[in-house]
Amino acid sequence: MTLRDYLKIAQRWWWLVLVGCLLSAIAAFLVSSQIPDVYQARVALFVNQGENGGSQSYNDQLLSQNLTKTYAQLVTGNSHLKIVAEQVKDVTVKRLQENVSARPIPDTQNIEVFAKDKSPERAAFIANKVAQTFPDYVQVAQAGNLQPDAARRPTTVFAYDAATAPDSPVEPNTLLNVFLGTFLGLLIAIGAVAIVEYLDDGIDEREDIERLEVAYLGSVFQASPPKGVDRKSWVPSIIEADPKAPLSESYRQVQANLAFALSATDCRILLVTSPGQGEGKSTTAANLAEALAESSKSVLLIDGDLRKPDAHRYFSLPNNSGLTSTFLVDPKALSSFIDRVGDSLSVLTGGPIPPNPTELISSAKMRHNLATLSEPYDVVIIDSPPMLGLADASIWTTLVDGVLVVARRGKTRRGPLEETIAAVRASRKPLLGVVLNGSNRRRNSPYAYRYGYGYEQAGQPE
């Protein structure tokens, strides 16, 4: 993926990341507000290793600094904390181990002792009690370890900075907790977006098509029926729509790109198909035929879906005769089944549904009839059944010069589209490109303002 892809993902999911961070920050604040305040008191000990009580030498200072590391561990040792627990009410050695800590101050002879408690006064009391009992504990420990005739080097340990009751708690650190909560929410939101993007194999934008290494012919914008018109019976048509409406402009843009592809491949007979049902192939075939006819080309639209013929509905034509009827007449009478719906556009409907569509399409007579029917026209567009699940579309590809595939945003998945592309390529017929149907104008077109500025009509669907 390129940087542009990551930026598009960020643009698409920024709200989720923001919501995740806000919710995590609020949760961290609420949890912190429920945690009781904990106070910490501090007392400092000075360690002095003297030479028989005399003044210190440099070696004595080094020895004292080394002793601070050992004494810092002894302060919080079980033996010493047992003595402290005996002198402090309602406290156990385990509780002292959890709330009392000590550390030597580097390059000094000092030790810092910390005590935590929910009461600031009690925290100071415990810290001072630890400091008061430790010198005697050291003296007793040293006396017990000395040999009878051993020379003794006195060690002086005393508290030089008594603990006082702290003014403010050290726990909970609400600001830090909110920051960590926000950061955790950010990680969770980014992880969720990454999983969704990884699992989402929908074809939603131009980049999804181009990653499959096929030509992108353009996007057809999502349109809605006028007020009072049933969506099921409404047919989006550029003939009936405003010529400057986004729907009409998008089909003309696709037609312009398709015209280049047709000229580059010398293709006259074009098959329009899709991976599955409901992806807009029939609508796309009908409107592209209209758009090509507007460009002064003589166009014939053939309804090649002999299982669910639909082209007649787009032009309000009867379907009591059509492509299937051409098998029953003399080849010279084929043109009598073609309906002229414009100066440059003609339509051959599907006709009655036959019991054996696959056999009709694969017959030698279909090949002959198609060659005869297409001869007077510049471009012939065949609306075929979906490519997957039926053999009809695969057979049609052997009769045409090129194939156009229609995908629908929010419906077409990457796997079926890849299978469709592979099937077309296996037929060795040129794949002219893919049209993205039902796209969002603002999301998928960087030039969407061209359609919106000055072209919007009252009630024009987005």
Average pLDDT, the chain: 84
Q: What is the pLDDT of residue 418?
A: 94
Q: How far apart, in whole angstroms, are the C-alpha atoms of residue 211 and residue 218?
A: 15
Determine the number of helices (DSSP H) and then strands (DSSP E) in the chain: 16, 12
Please give the CATH architecture assigned to the domain spanning 39-161.
2-Layer Sandwich (3.30)
* Cα–Cα nearest to 287, from 315, 268, 264, 316: 315
Q: What is the pLDDT of residue 239?
A: 58
Confirm whether pTM is higher than 0.75: no
Is pLDDT of 399 > 90? yes
Measured CA distances, 58 to 49, 61, 109 (Å): 11, 5, 12
Q: How far apart, in whole angstroms, are the C-alpha atoms of residue 4 and residue 357?
A: 46
Is pLDDT of 73 > 80? yes
Q: Helix, strand or coil for residue 202?
A: strand
Is pLDDT of 414 > 50? yes
- Give residue limits of the domains in the chain: 9-35+173-198, 39-161, 203-452
pLDDT tens by residue, 245-254: 777 888 888 9
Is pLDDT of 451 > 60? no
- Cβ burial of 156 (10 Å; 0-12, 13-18, 19+) is middle
Q: Are 49 and 218 in contact (CB under 8 A)?
A: no
Q: What is the pLDDT of residue 3?
A: 80
Please give the CATH architecture assigned to the domain spanning 203-452.
3-Layer(aba) Sandwich (3.40)
The values of phi and psi at residue 328, to 5°, are -105, 0
CA atoms within 13 A of residue 106's CA, in its CB half-sphere: 0
pLDDT tens by residue, 86-120: 998 888 999 999 999 999 988 888 899 999 999 99
- Cβ burial of 240 (10 Å; 0-12, 13-18, 19+) is exposed
